[in-house]
Structure 1
Amino acid sequence: MPDDLDPSRPDEASRESELLERVVQLETALRSRPAIEQAKGMIMVVHRCDDEQAFRVLIAVSQSCNRKLREVAAEIVTALPVDKPLPPDIAVAFDNEVRRLQAGERRALGS
């Protein structure tokens, strides 16, 4: 069967659309990266944890609040330096995750 008749081969318009969507996703990721890194740094300083733990906190808060990771990071970066309260849903999820992180540290020290 010739390639141009193969039903499993995406047509050019579909392929171009997929590529444009991917470009938009990558550009969004690049723009949100600094806020995510800043939020991780703030969490690391305030809660004395490492990079991986801070990132896990961000991910857990994002999932708990059903918000994009970049949105949660932006809220933290905006709020923490000026001691502004976080939105209630993020504040509750953040407190829960920090407590979970601290409880894990206490267990690790006790073992």
Structure 2
Amino acid sequence: MSSAARAPHAGRLDALVVGCRTEEGRALLDAHGELVLGCTDTLAAALAAVPAGVRRVELDVTGVSFMDTAGLECLDVLSEYGRRHRVPVAARGWRGQPLRILELVGLTAEDPLCAPPAGPPVPVASPVARERAEQLHGLRVEIEQLRHAIVSRPVIDQARGILMAAHACSAEQAWDILRETSQRSNTKLREVAVAVTASTAPDGPVLPVNLRAALRAAVARHVHGG
């Protein structure tokens, strides 16, 4: 059986799918997709379908391509299942970007369901703790920027296609035109793309004067060599 959840960002979705099979008294769960908001429900549904009497539950995340901080809650769900059913649980196969998330919060690929290695607690104000907090904040910003890029990409690609058709230019030239128009007019790239796309619709709005001037200059430079 398998359970699936939609990824929370727009654009092409890489849904989380969790398959389950039993082998020699073990329940083996294979996760594929993204560990993001909503993934805990998918994992909980897969765990609920685990047959009674298994002696161990293993979650293989080799097929997970992306994880944000919300995905860490999956470890809590898996750990809670183990405590409630009194069976050992483990998550294995961490690599790439998901492994980076684990390392930033102090977990290890060898035993990601446990707290960081035993030892004196690290003071919150210590340099190590501050550095880890800064890294985690930077990663959250990076994730948010990635989500924004995914949302913006369809309209940007559409605007590039319009420019390619209108000015007989390449995809790279169309990208350079959009970027330079954004810089010249001090307008966000996505807003430029939206305006260009909307202006080509029947009875669509005319480009604002500042965008029209910036676009004309960018076309002249990148297409006509002016």
Query: CA–CA distance in 2 between the matches of 1:91 and 1:16?
Result: 41
**Which residue number in structure 2 is paired with residue 46 of structure 1?**
166
Query: CA–CA distance in 1 between the matches of 2:143 and 2:173?
Result: 30
**Structure 2 unpaired stretches of 5+:** 1-121
Deviations 1:7-61 (A, max 9, x none): 2663554444333222211110000001110000000001111101111110110
Q: 1:8 to 1:89 in 2, by over 3 A?
A: farther
Q: CA RMSD in A?
A: 2.6
142, 146, 164: which one aligns with 1:22: 142
> Could you tell me the TM-score, scaled by structure 2's length?
0.41
How far does residue 72 in structure 1 lie from its aligned partner after superposition? 0.7
**Which residue number in structure 2 is paired with residue 100 of structure 1?**
221
Aligned length: 104
Query: CA–CA distance in 2 between the matches of 1:96 and 1:11?
Result: 45
Query: CA–CA distance in 2 between the matches of 1:13 and 1:101?
Result: 43
Q: 2:216 is aligned with what amino acid? A: D
Which of structures 1 and 2 has the bigger CA Rg?
A: 2
Q: Tell me which protein shows more strand as a share of its residues.
A: 2
Deviations 1:52-98 (A, max 9, x none): 11111101101101112111111111112335311111111011122
**Which residue number in structure 2 is paired with residue 85 of structure 1?**
206
**Structure 1 unpaired stretches of 5+:** none
Residue 7, structure 1, aligned to residue 116, structure 2: no
Q: 1:12 to 1:93 in 2, by over 3 A?
A: same
Query: CA–CA distance in 2 between the matches of 1:38 and 1:16?
Result: 34
Consecutive aligned runs of 4 or more in structure 1 exceeding 4 Å deviation: none
User: Looking at both structures, which has the greater relative contact order when contacts are Cα pairs under 8 Å and sequence separation is at least 6?
Assistant: 1
Query: CA–CA distance in 1 between the matches of 2:131 and 2:160?
Result: 42
> Could you tell me the TM-score, scaled by structure 1's length?
0.77
**Which residue number in structure 1 is paired with residue 177 of structure 2?**
57
What percent of counterpart residues are identical? Answer: 34
| Paired residues for 1:32-43 under 5 Å | 32-43=152-163
